[in-house]
A and B are shown apart, each in its own frame.
Chain A
Amino acid sequence: MAGELPFEKPLGDLRRKIEELKGLSQGKGIDFSDEIARLEARCRQLEEELYSELGAAEKMHLARHHQRPTSLDFIQAIFTDFLELHGDRLFADDLAIVGGLAKLNGMPVTVIGHQRGKDTKDNIARFFGSPHPEGFRKALRLMQQADKFRRPIITFIDTKGAYPGNTAEERGQSEAIARNLREMALLGVPVICVVIGEGGSGGALALGVGNRVLMLENAIYSVISPNGAASILWKDASKADQAAEAMKITAKDLLSFGIIEEVVPEPQGGAHRDYEQQAESIKEAVWRHLQELLAMSAEELVEDRYMKFRKIGRFAFAAEAGSEQPDGALEAPEAAGLPAEAGAEPAAPGDASPAAESARVH
């Protein structure tokens, strides 16, 4: 089994055993067909067990699989007439992000994605899919171009995060990400984002402010890589598996938080087992969501996107002990020791409307 992950080893062992027996029966003319049939049945059973309840850590390993299809693989398989466009017009062309024009079922769209390399050389050229500011600025340029020509935008998210280097900082990594977040909120065309592998922090979100965000079944999306979280929390980066579980980074988790709209199923064993089948299911889901969005006006699309992100967040309200206003006080208000649970209730999305707001203001 090519590209076998540690948790897949029992399955690989079994498959190797079957191959061995097949070779034996061919070479020596001994009939092992009963034995082989028995093992194959067990193999299928094991596959069922192994892949039906994958934990966050296993999904993380699948999401990072070196054979996992990249943005360009999906672009080639889902769209026709892809015409790649380069450069941010300011500094350079960042190969960690690809983008251009393409047709989806005959409809012109703009497609953009993070691009990991296929081998070491390619990875070095593409900074392992971690963009510099020029990458985010190229993406924004293409998105604003799409807005001008009323083309829907499809983005593929697959990055460990924005490139953490001095050159990136000097050229305004923060500003580039922040600007994308703000400007994507104003696009008057449908924006659909698909997390296909690893969605790492701000570098992922900078392509992720969509009307719809979809995620492949084994993809992950988090504020910090599980490795980074483990090294901060337990001073031990090797506890990434543990951190992955704690951080709730799977597609299923994000669906339950209302961050994404749909989980796109993967072929058994992961997207790398069948590129064609995976591309087909992404295409179907994207096309379906696009039909809904195409019915909206530019203003409705902006408002729809605003409300999608506006309602994200979990918070509560402490019972007010005494609503003394600390007028001109240099001391902090007396907040210590207040029961956090008292009167706590998750705010409903509707609570966030500006109209309800003014009543809240003291």
Chain B
Amino acid sequence: MFKDLFHKRKYATVPSERERGDQQERPKRDIPEGLMNKCPKCATIQFSKELDKNHKVCPSCGHHFRLSAWERIGMTLDDGRLSEFDRDMISEDPLEFPGYASKLEAQKKSSGLRDAVVTGEGAIGGFPVVVAIMSFDFFSGSMGSVVGEKITRAIEQARLRKLPMLIFSTSGGARMQESILSLMQMAKTSAALAKFQSEGGLYISVMTDPTTGGVTASFASLGDYNLAEPGALIGFAGRIVIEQTIRQKLPDNFQTSEFNLQHGQLDRVVHRKDMKSTLTRLLDMHAVKEETGHGG
């Protein structure tokens, strides 16, 4: 009964006068770059200002737009203030890997960052914390020596200052261009957490879209509390690789935050508008007896 609906049209389409007409003659509507924004999930077009007011969450479908490290800092830390650590640390090209050095320079220019993580001390709801905030816009948030070192140093600072540690992760995984050195950052960061956590340190991990590969398989999964933003892609292996391995299509929700919650991998999925208050509540729960540990 729906046959007709899908019938091929039996006529040719002729471009309308307007489509054929000279582009120059038509007055181009003057929309400044960046004024409007289209949701990649539901395609709703909205004013960027409205989107910013809504924590960069699509008002119609709830899609959480990816945030750069400094956007996240502005949204999460008290007064958006961060006393930054190791601000000038930059990557080297230890393997002299083809194309790596020039790609690093291009990433610095396009993102305005020096590498894929910003670390430092700030406060949330009045509680001082050491934070590490990853940025997907630098080299897909990949972890090379600099990301591993900065995160390790931040954890060591949290241990020294007896402060809680908070990491917002987003990453395509380990940085291939530093090969084995990238892989070893997984062990280095996890070992730093081992020291910190075994001495009573509090570590909260928040996974954001996307958190994959070597980052998920190291510090991102090791929180005393593992939180995630809704709809984030969180997993170890990539979807295409898995589909090739099992020779099956995977469900749409595969490796989403909700999927991970359902399979027991997360404590909570937290909407961005509730993130700061949830973190504050968690920090407050650990701030009862200051003298007993790293509670803050």
* Chain A residues at the B interface, C-beta cutoff of 8 Å: 162-166, 168-175, 177-179, 181-183, 185-186, 201-202, 205, 208-209, 221-224, 229, 232-233, 246-249, 253-254, 257, 259, 305-306, 309-310, 312-320, 323, 325-338, 340, 344, 346-347, 352, 354, 357-358, 360-362
Residue from the list B70, B113, B188, B213 in contact with A310, Cβ < 8 A = B188
In the assembled complex, the CB of A306 is this many whole angstroms from the nearest CB of chain B, namely: 5
- Cβ contact within 8 Å between B246 and A312: no
A338 / chain B contacts, CB cutoff of 8 Å: 108, 114
- Cβ contact within 8 Å between A165 and B191: no
Interface residues of B in 206-229 (CB under 8 A from A): 213-214, 216-222
* Chain B residues at the A interface, C-beta cutoff of 8 Å: 68-71, 74, 79-92, 94-95, 97-98, 101, 104-105, 108-109, 111-114, 121, 145-146, 148-149, 152-153, 156-157, 159-160, 174-176, 178-188, 190-195, 197-198, 213-214, 216-222, 234-238, 241-242, 245-246, 248, 250, 254-255, 263-265
Residue from the list A202, A222, A333 in contact with B217, Cβ < 8 A = A202
Residue from the list B89, B95, B146, B153 in contact with A247, Cβ < 8 A = B95
Nearest B residue to A232 by beta-carbon distance?
B176
> A162 with B68: in contact, given A223-B180, A229-B176 (CB under 8 Å)?
no
- Cβ contact within 8 Å between B90 and A171: no
- Cβ contact within 8 Å between B242 and A178: no
- Cβ contact within 8 Å between A179 and B87: no
B71 / chain A contacts, CB cutoff of 8 Å: 330
In the assembled complex, the CB of A319 is this many whole angstroms from the nearest CB of chain B, namely: 8
Alpha-carbon separation in the docked complex, A168 to B242 (Å): 10
- Cβ contact within 8 Å between B179 and A165: no
In the assembled complex, the CB of A250 is this many whole angstroms from the nearest CB of chain B, namely: 10
Q: Which 7 A-B pairs have the closest CB atoms?
A: A332-B112, A164-B237, A313-B145, A181-B190, A185-B191, A174-B216, A328-B80
Alpha-carbon separation in the docked complex, A33 to B197 (Å): 73
Residue from the list A313, A316, A317 in contact with B184, Cβ < 8 A = A313
- Cβ contact within 8 Å between B242 and A166: yes
In the assembled complex, the CB of A79 is this many whole angstroms from the nearest CB of chain B, namely: 26
> A246 with B104: in contact, given A178-B218, A316-B90, A328-B79 (CB under 8 Å)?
no
Contacts beyond the supplied A171-B263, A248-B95: 13 A-B pairs with Cβ under 8 Å: A168-B237, A178-B186, A178-B219, A179-B221, A205-B186, A223-B176, A223-B183, A224-B174, A247-B97, A248-B180, A331-B112, A332-B70, A340-B108
- Cβ contact within 8 Å between B179 and A223: yes
Alpha-carbon separation in the docked complex, A57 to B217 (Å): 28
B112 / chain A contacts, CB cutoff of 8 Å: 331-336
- Cβ contact within 8 Å between A315 and B146: yes
In the assembled complex, the CB of A9 is this many whole angstroms from the nearest CB of chain B, namely: 29
> A361 with B85: in contact, given A221-B180, A224-B176, A332-B112 (CB under 8 Å)?
yes
B113 / chain A contacts, CB cutoff of 8 Å: 332-333, 335
